[in-house]
Amino acid sequence: MVHVLSSRTLIHPADPERSRAFYGEQLGLAVYREFGEGPERGTVYFLGGGFLEVSGRSGTPAPPAVQLWLQVADVAAAHDELAAKGVEIVRPPVKEPWGLVEMWIADPDGWKIVIVEVPEDHPIRYRPGI
């Protein structure tokens, strides 16, 4: 087995400056590192246990099969904060049949992002007997 030391998701946006404004200012992700120069320079953001790299440029739309899953402590508070910053809420927070509270947003290129709250009694957090 390959010994993975770190991982990150890479996206190549149509407009890198617009995407950096979205992830850095609107979502408020902290910067891990930056590299290169000019409008297509790379910016790597912290994503909890992983990283998101925004670098380069793409002329094709975001693939619909790729989505980001971001867990937060309070999805209602995240909703209010993101809406106040002008982030388009694709779907407001809803408690799903599987017990998670999910809200959907999209980045400027259409990358789908689910913002998830895991309730305290959900099996992801607590599994009696294990």
Each residue's pLDDT tens digit, 15-47: 999 999 999 999 999 999 999 998 889 999 999
Question: Cα(36)–Cα(55) distance, rounded to whole angstroms?
Answer: 9
Residue type, 74: D
What pTM, to 2 d.p., does this model score?
Answer: 0.84
pLDDT at 4 > cutoff 70: no
Give the β-pairing of 101-106 and 50-54.
Answer: unpaired
Q: Could you tell me which residues come within 8 angstroms of residue 66 by beta carbon, excluding any fewer than 6 positions away?
A: 111, 112
